[in-house]
Structure 1
Amino acid sequence: MGFIYNIGIALAGFGLKTTSLFNEKIKKGVVGRQKTYSTLQKNLKPSDKTLWFHCASLGEYEQGLPVFKALRNRYKEHKIILSFFSPSGYDIRKNSPIANVVVYLPLDTKKNANRFLDLLNPELTVFVKYDIWPNFLNELKRRQLRAILISAAFRENQSFFKFYGKQVREALFAFQHIFTQNDHSKKLLQSINYNNVTVSGDTRFDRVSSQLEQDNTLKFIETFKQNRLCVVAGSTWPEDEILLINFINSEDSKGVKFIIAPHNIKSNQIKNIQEKLTVESVLFSEKDNKNLEIAEVFIIDTIGILSKIYSYAHIAHVGGAVGTTGLHNTLEPAVFGVPIIIGTHHSKFPEAQDMIDKGGMFSISNQKEFDAILNELIQNDQKRFLAGNNNLKYIETNKGAVTKILKYLNL
């Protein structure tokens, strides 16, 4: 691996340690990585057969989960190591039932790659979407260990396809096969002479479809919702919450129930939302001691239940694209046949534009546009039903990525 890249990784490691003194999330990652090798040594023996799954964060974990489950069922005698780079993935899935060991991925140095793979020696490695770490991948290739990349999505502006990207580009060739979400990504790979590629689609469609097979019942939501029309706002940021609060405080919201599941569930952020509302609200954390029926707004100050809550929505707003933090998962509400409202910053999320084009999703840029489309969806039952049905059809049409990947793996 190139000298400049390795220097950059060393500087990044120093930067993370310095920043961790002031940032709790980064500190979790720094401390967690210090425990990786002891955790592996404690839970693995040299004789163990292993598989290695790597995800950048929680979103990639959810994306890869259908494949992970199939491999878990097929390789029952193997120990599965699941690694994350981000604390937001590790914290929530550190007890994942599909893995025997869950760890933070060490920084991408040659020394770490050798030590990590000495302990694992995986029969198969699965990376999800991106998080391409050259030293780890090159070491996998040198050891002739099988690795695949699933649900990959590439863009022209990525370094793999630039004149200066030779070093990171070579890392892609460590993958025995790459499964892309779309034809465009396949063509980009072929432009650098990587040809072991299949357009499988996005495994997230299979993942969210499996939600329909689960019991999504939440009795406390039923108690809150009653028989009223319900708007669910998921993974919201302050920019989203301003729009929602203004609408809820207006006369247009009469007769409608609202559920807000903020991305940031810190107490000061939750308090800020409650203080700005002029109608009765209740928190998830206090639901057992409150009369849910009389509340107009239910604020979900916990994590892990949003996908079930979407099953109660008549209309959904998905956060992240009103600001520039990145659009959150729009497929989760879409699978329940719900029309969706988002902001305008969704260019990196092709599924959003697809659903907009098909009439199931609506992009807004200001309060006036937000109020207009939300009012229309509340008042026009036919438009609401057709838009939601368009989203469900979109999910159904795009399922099947997992089947293609498992076929390649002879499962």
Structure 2
Amino acid sequence: MFRLFYSFVFLLALPMALLNSYLKGRPFPIYRNRWREHFGLFDYDSSDKTIWVHAVSVGESLAAIPIIRRLMKEHPEYAIVVTTTTPTGAERILSALGDSVKHLYSPYDYPWVVNRFLTKINPCLTIIMETELWPNFMHFCRKRNVPIIVANARLSARSARRYGWLPIPTHRRLFQSVSCFACQNEGDAQRFKQLGALEDKVSVTGSIKFDLQLPVNIDSKTREIFSPWKDAEFVWVAGSTHVGEDEPILSTHRRLLDEGLNAKLILVPRHPERFDSVSELVEQRGFKFARRSKDGSLKSSSEVFVCDSMGEMMYCYKAADVAFVAGSFIERGGHNPLEPAALSKPVISGKHVFNFADVYKNMVQANAAQLVSKEELFDVLLELHSNIEKRELMGRAGLSVVESNRGAVTKTIKILNRYLNGRGSEEQTH
């Protein structure tokens, strides 16, 4: 009954979903031409050996890529269909994997749409990245006896409370539809169990984000982009900013300049639809600035560089002396601090980092990261500007955290192999 009620309510929300897709597609004209895929309308030559990997946006896509590469290497006989919800996630998948996978936009969670989608791709295994448990996805995979693995699984305390609002039989059935949760840490594992996941279906494999690989051209590409700033005294980056964060970041940068520092700021908005508005804000605040989209516009005199491009965050982190990881001054939950840590950069974030609570806990304990308020940001940056030794110590500590926690991809692949080799099907709970 709950699933029918849910489907009815979701149907009422269809106009809003379509409007959201339209707005989301403004910076991506190709996305607008593919809206039918959300309704399971696409061409695909189905195979008895198809693996469906579902990601949502950029973060989940980045975590999925090393898993997919290992699957293609170890199981070349399988076709792989990758779905994403957002065009930014699609961009990451296509730029990394190209035509080696079939990319589709994820089907809306209506019974007839999900049925059509599953009939067309005919998966023998479904891999969901992190936590994206939609009732009809789960129901029809279970009905078709398709194993569901949640890889790099995470469930914050806040999300767990929201699932707890559902009737107990409902969330128990939802979580018991999963063949295996491959969790990032013990806290996530315990929360899944508390919501009904069976004890023997939950494993702790670690976070795939620790297994990130640096771009092979990280040094040359960074020099190419940031050569006009090669003699800059102090460069800091604010990565993945959201609405409400750019203003205090720019105010802090203005204070650094007013102190007489030859400071440079790399500002990276999280979403493409904000590129223009953020650039306008920088201009309104009176900074000498450049945009990545305007080739050759970065000058030694530029005070702010707006990186309005996709897939170049790591180059921005590489160019910086200090990394501020955004999505953390607001209640967004933070973004991945391991990318700058892997580059031996000291990490600063706001205090709303519940999406990466365990990662930040490890990094703060290792003196690799600092959590600050908007008011504290200036003082911390000023100290790190003058204390090069502290920057280096924080950077080395961050790299050590990354290196000591690698291995999640290999552990996850071992779980997937049980199902692909035919030994996991009897373990499903339906």
Shared topology, TM-score over 0.5?
yes
Residue in structure 1 matching 2:313, options 297, 302, 306 = 306
Distance 1:344 1:164, change over 3 A: same
Deviation at 1:130, TM superposition (A): 0.8
Give the superposed CA RMSD: 2.7
Where does 1:169-208 land on structure 2 (aligned, <5 Å)? Answer: 169-191=172-194, 192=196, 194-195=198-199, 196-207=201-212
Deviation at 1:163, TM superposition (A): 6.1
Identify the residue that residue 64 of structure 2 maps to in structure 1: 64
Identify the residue that residue 282 of structure 2 maps to in structure 1: 273
Identify the residue that residue 140 of structure 2 maps to in structure 1: 139
Deviation at 1:162, TM superposition (A): 5.0
Distance 1:212 1:16, change over 3 A: closer
Deviation at 1:315, TM superposition (A): 0.5
Identify the residue that residue 49 of structure 1 maps to in structure 2: 49
Identify the residue that residue 229 of structure 2 maps to in structure 1: 225
Distance 1:241 1:110, change over 3 A: closer
Identify the residue that residue 211 of structure 1 maps to in structure 2: 214
Distance 1:281 1:110, change over 3 A: closer
Deviation at 1:205, TM superposition (A): 0.9
Deviation at 1:94, TM superposition (A): 4.8
**Alpha-carbon distance between aligned partners in 2 of 1:86 and 1:203, rounded to the nearest angstrom:** 21
Identify the residue that residue 381 of structure 2 maps to in structure 1: 374
Q: TM-score, normalised by structure 2?
A: 0.84
Deviation at 1:262, TM superposition (A): 2.3
2:397 is the counterpart of 1:394: no
Distance 1:159 1:344, change over 3 A: closer
**Alpha-carbon distance between aligned partners in 2 of 1:271 and 1:111, rounded to the nearest angstrom:** 44
Distance 1:10 1:30, change over 3 A: farther
**Alpha-carbon distance between aligned partners in 2 of 1:26 and 1:215, rounded to the nearest angstrom:** 29
Q: Which moved more, 1:100-109 or 1:235-244?
A: 235-244
Deviation at 1:358, TM superposition (A): 2.5
- CA contact under 8 A between 2:238 and 2:325: conserved in structure 1? yes
**Alpha-carbon distance between aligned partners in 2 of 1:74 and 1:40, rounded to the nearest angstrom:** 28
Q: Secondary structure at the match of 1:273?
A: helix
Q: TM-score, normalised by structure 1?
A: 0.88
Identify the residue that residue 35 of structure 1 maps to in structure 2: 37
**Alpha-carbon distance between aligned partners in 2 of 1:371 and 1:226, rounded to the nearest angstrom:** 23
Distance 1:406 1:38, change over 3 A: closer
What is the aligned-residue identity percentage?
25
2:293 is the counterpart of 1:285: yes
Deviation at 1:238, TM superposition (A): 4.9
Deviation at 1:410, TM superposition (A): 3.5
**Alpha-carbon distance between aligned partners in 2 of 1:30 and 1:12, rounded to the nearest angstrom:** 19
**Alpha-carbon distance between aligned partners in 2 of 1:235 and 1:166, rounded to the nearest angstrom:** 38
Per-residue Cα deviation, 1:280-339 (whole angstroms, up to 9, x for no partner)? 322222342x46233233221222111122112210112211123442222111111111
- CA contact under 8 A between 2:172 and 2:197: conserved in structure 1? no
Q: Secondary structure at the match of 1:239?
A: coil
- After superposing on structure 2, the runs of 4+ consecutive aligned residues of structure 1 that deviate more than 6 Å are 26-31
Deviation at 1:269, TM superposition (A): 2.4
- CA contact under 8 A between 2:40 and 2:114: conserved in structure 1? no
- CA contact under 8 A between 1:217 and 1:308: conserved in structure 2? no
- CA contact under 8 A between 2:156 and 2:354: conserved in structure 1? no
**Alpha-carbon distance between aligned partners in 2 of 1:155 and 1:269, rounded to the nearest angstrom:** 30
Return 5+ residue gaps in structure 1 as ranges. none
2:358 is the counterpart of 1:348: no
2:132 is the counterpart of 1:128: no
Deviation at 1:257, TM superposition (A): 2.7
The amino acid across from 1:189 in the alignment is F
Identify the residue that residue 385 of structure 1 maps to in structure 2: 392
The amino acid across from 1:225 in the alignment is W
- CA contact under 8 A between 1:159 and 1:165: conserved in structure 2? no
Deviation at 1:188, TM superposition (A): 2.7
**Alpha-carbon distance between aligned partners in 2 of 1:326 and 1:298, rounded to the nearest angstrom:** 25
Per-residue Cα deviation, 1:22-65 (whole angstroms, up to 9, x for no partner)? x6117888874423567642xx2244631110012121111222
**Alpha-carbon distance between aligned partners in 1 of 2:122 and 2:214, rounded to the nearest angstrom:** 34
- CA contact under 8 A between 1:151 and 1:202: conserved in structure 2? yes
The amino acid across from 1:220 in the alignment is E
Q: Secondary structure at the match of 1:329?
A: coil
Identify the residue that residue 421 of structure 2 maps to in structure 1: none
Distance 1:253 1:109, change over 3 A: farther
- CA contact under 8 A between 1:58 and 1:89: conserved in structure 2? yes
Q: Secondary structure at the match of 1:242?
A: helix
2:32 is the counterpart of 1:25: no
The amino acid across from 2:179 in the alignment is Q
- CA contact under 8 A between 1:160 and 1:169: conserved in structure 2? no
Distance 1:193 1:320, change over 3 A: closer
